[in-house]
Amino acid sequence: MNKSEKIHNIWDNKALWMIVSLLLSFLIWAYISTTEDTSVERIFTGVPVVFQGADELRTSRGLIITDASADTVTVKVSGSRASIGNLHASDLTAVVDVSGISQVRDMTVSYTVRFPDSVNMSGVEVHSKTPETIEFSVVQENSKTVEVKGVFTGSVAEGFTVDPIVVEPASITFYGPASELNQIDSACVYIDRQNVSATIGPLSSDFVLLNANGETIRPPSVTSSQSSVTVTVPVLMNKELPLTVNLIEGSGATADNTVVEIEPKTIQVVGSTATLENVNQVVIGTVDLTDFAETTTLTFPIMLDNNIRSLSGTTEATVTVTVTGMETRKFIVTNITITGGMGELQTTQKEIIVRGTAEDLAAITEDKIRIVADLTEYAAATGTIEVPARVYVDGFEKAGAVGDYTVSVTLG
């Protein structure tokens, strides 16, 4: 066997490699064992300061901690590598015990560095603390309830309007020192969405605190009854709707020979899309064309559906109705009768105004006009009363009396 073959056999020897592996494992274990027990020194920066007993101090005595001189500290620690080698600053706490405080005062107190329970404290030593003490004030806790405002900072799609934001709850109570609470004027929620065409929310949202100048503030010692609010941004459709009236035709007047003028002609409204998408006009009232001869002017309130609101704030409209192409003529009518009951007619003649075309009015005579009073609803009445009467112009469908008429009847 030559030298090359001997070397090759050595490299292929499994037993040899097992021995080498065991030897290396032992050496590594020995190194780790040695270094784990080695004392090291470490500096932890950003160790959080914790006030032990602060919750009890607040709930049982109404006192709170403010104006702490430091939120974190730096500590220099030594100990075995096994104990502190893998620690981070956030694993440690600088504990200030405030459980024994019973009155308002300014304090300067030393703190204790606390390690995790998993750390073997044998040999662990704190060499320095920076700062060595924490200054803070103990003050009486006060409360203040302020309004929560909602502000929409985005944009809406054409044809839509954003209504005032609804915030629940509408107010929040804050707790803290009076000096900080006095800075708070309101809480505000900002909602930023672009080109919206539908209601946003309800959704949970954070809020910010504002002073009287509208500037954002962050009082360090103030807490609140809740950390967020529920917000709804109503997004409504807006629409311009024409105003109109219903007409009761009669006495020769129809929609075809009547001119209706309404001021304002239209009204700008907002409402939910579901409500407005099928609404094309607003009917503000009814005009009976038999109530007047030629022209009448009436004022109607603009009554909207509960789910629709006027943007302009307009609450009423003026309606002028004019009957065109018709004339009027007065007649003295003596053909007066009663129906629907017994009574003694006191009215023997009545002046009636009849409206119609010039041709019809020329052809109408008094004997073509009759007045009828219906006593059906006056069965229990006694004495002389005025009873509404209806006027008939026989033989002329496009002519009729205008106005309201009564006759005097003695009943009982």
Strands 400-401 and 171-176: unpaired
pLDDT per position as a tens digit, 81-132: 988 989 999 999 999 999 989 899 999 999 999 999 989 888 899 999 999 9
Question: Which residue blocks in 196-332 are alpha helix, DSSP H?
Answer: 273-276
pLDDT per position as a tens digit, 319-369: 999 999 999 999 999 999 999 999 999 999 999 999 999 999 999 999 999
- With 0-12 / 13-18 / 19 or more C-beta atoms within 10 angstroms meaning exposed / middle / buried, residue 83 is buried
- DSSP-assigned letter for residue 250: B
Q: What is the mean pLDDT of the chain?
A: 90
Identify the residue with better confidence: 245 or 82: 245
Q: Rounded CA gap, 190 and 30, in Å?
A: 62
Beta bridge partner(s), residue 267: 241
Smallest CA-to-CA distance from 350 within 403, 397, 398, 396 is with: 403
Q: Rounded CA gap, 373 and 367, in Å?
A: 17
Band (pLDDT 50/70/90 cuts) for residue 313 is confident
Band (pLDDT 50/70/90 cuts) for residue 14 is low
- Within 8 A by CB and 6+ apart from 363, the residues are 396
What average pLDDT does this structure show over 205-233?
93
Q: Are residues 351 and 334 in contact, defined by beta-carbon separation less than 8 angstroms?
A: no
Topology at the third CATH level for domain 327-411: RNA Polymerase Alpha Subunit; Chain A, domain 2 (2.170.120)
Give the tokens for residue 36. Answer: 């784990």
**pTM over 0.85, yes/no:** no
383: left (phi over 0), alpha (psi -120 to 50) or beta: left
With 60 as the cut, is the pLDDT of residue 218 above it? yes
Band (pLDDT 50/70/90 cuts) for residue 286 is very high
In this prediction, residue 38 carries a pLDDT of 82
What average pLDDT does this structure show over 225-244?
93
201: left (phi over 0), alpha (psi -120 to 50) or beta: left
Q: Does domain 142-233 have CATH number 3.30.450.40?
A: no
pLDDT per position as a tens digit, 367-384: 999 999 999 999 889 999
Just give the CATH number of 39-140: 2.170.120.30
Domain boundaries, the chain: 3-36, 39-140, 142-233, 237-323, 327-411
Band (pLDDT 50/70/90 cuts) for residue 194 is very high
Q: Rounded CA gap, 25 and 19, in Å?
A: 10
Q: Rounded CA gap, 212 and 222, in Å?
A: 17
Just give the CATH number of 237-323: 2.170.120.40
With 90 as the cut, is the pLDDT of residue 44 above it? yes
Identical fold, 142-233 and 327-411: yes
